Structure 1
Amino acid sequence: MEISPAQCRAARGLLDWTQGELARRVGVALRTVQDFENSRRTPLAIVRSSIRQAFEQAGIEFLDNKGLRLKG
């Protein structure tokens, strides 16, 4: 399942992560996260997958209805 810009913003909010923190955890430039969240550019599939994986490792569960929640 692909992660959307809105899901990215929401997941960061639930985790209280800045865009910079997400970028560091994924190993991408801050601009990559900013552009993705603002729908200016879609990162490569491997980067989107890494973003989702970072969120899942931090306790985010992605739901079938395009929603998300903290596990537990």
Structure 2
Amino acid sequence: MKKDIYPEQIRAARALIDWTREDLADASGVTIRTLARLESAQTIPRQTTLKALSAALEAAGVEFIPENGGGPGVRLAKKITR
């Protein structure tokens, strides 16, 4: 995976789209227990886990912002209008 995702970003992303841990677990295939441990920085995630989480959150409309001098973050992705 080309980027790291920090626990704070996962929590913020869920808040942006009003998802519970259960919602993210269902969408990503990651267990609730693993998600709780990741969000509290109790474990270092596997790249496959990060990929599953980011794919689920991005599909729901979240955009991850890399650390670019201002720190990493999340925002709602711009919707494409037709």
Give the structure-2-normalised TM-score. 0.81
3-state SS, counterpart of residue 63 of structure 2: strand
Cα drift, residue 37 of structure 1? 0.2
Would you say how many aligned residue pairs link Structure 1 and Structure 2? 72
Uncovered stretches (5+) of structure 1, i.e. residues with no partner: none
Is the Cα contact below 8 Å between 2:30 and 2:52 reproduced in 1?
no
Instruction: Provide the residue aligned with 1:45 in structure 2.
Output: 47
1:27-46 equivalences in 2 (<5 Å): 27-46=29-48
SS of the equivalent of 1:62 reads strand
Match in the other structure for 2:66: 64
Q: Distance in 1 between the 2:25 and 2:66 partners?
A: 25
Pick the structure with more helix per residue.
Answer: 1
Alpha-carbon RMSD: 1.0
Q: Could you report, residue by residue, the CA deviation over 1:21-51 in whole angstroms, capped at 9, with x for unpaired residues?
A: 1111111211000000001112211011110
1:10 paired to 2:12: yes
4+ residue segments displaced more than 2 Å = none
Identify unmatched segments of 5+ residues in structure 2: none
Identity %: 39
On the 8 A contact 1:2/1:49 being kept in 2, the answer is no
- The normalised TM-score by structure 1 is 0.92
